[in-house]
Amino acid sequence: MRVDNAIFPSMEQATSFFGGPKNGPFVMVNLLKFKDKAEYADGSDSDLSGTAAYARYGKAIQACLAAVGGRQIYAGNVTGMMIGEVEDQWDMIALVEYPSLAAMQKMVSSPEYQAIEIHRKAGLAGQLNIRTSKIGR
């Protein structure tokens, strides 16, 4: 199995993801890998860790999620693996519930989200986003 962490989806991935069926609520599994040091485009906060930069994003995104009816269900540091093996383990996992694809798209397009995304970009080395739906839907 090949695993490619990324910070942004390709145009093809975004079109496929948001062009899919609008079938109601889903939970996004975020597998996060942080940079050792934050990398802000303007060179600020060069002494900040990637984890700390992402924490700024994590705190600010709560209002963006609430504005579209979403919510963070869980966030925690990865502390070990029992089954399987990866070359480079993720640092953190976050579970975020959205009422619909349209709600998520509205959030990531909002000026409020665009303003806080600098912290996400500064802190992340890469991630996987996995959309899930409840069994029985």
pLDDT digits (tens, 9 = 90+) for 21-61: 667 899 999 999 999 999 999 999 889 999 999 999 999 99
Instruction: Give dist(CA 33, CA 126) in Å, integer.
Output: 5
The pLDDT-based confidence of 118 (bands split at 50, 70, 90) is very high
pLDDT recorded at residue 126: 93
23-132: CATH, from 3.40.50.2300, 3.30.420.40, 3.10.20.30, 3.30.70.100: 3.30.70.100
51-70 pLDDT, tens digit each: 999 999 999 999 999 999 99
Give the distance from CA 9 to its chain's centroid.
11
Strand ordering across the sheet containing 124-132: 71-77, 92-98, 26-34, 124-132
Amino acid at the residue 60: A
Helix axes 11-18, 101-109, angle to 10 degrees: 140
Give the distance from CA 2 to its chain's centroid.
20
Q: Is the pLDDT of residue 1 over 60?
A: no
Domain extents in the chain: 23-132
pTM: 0.86
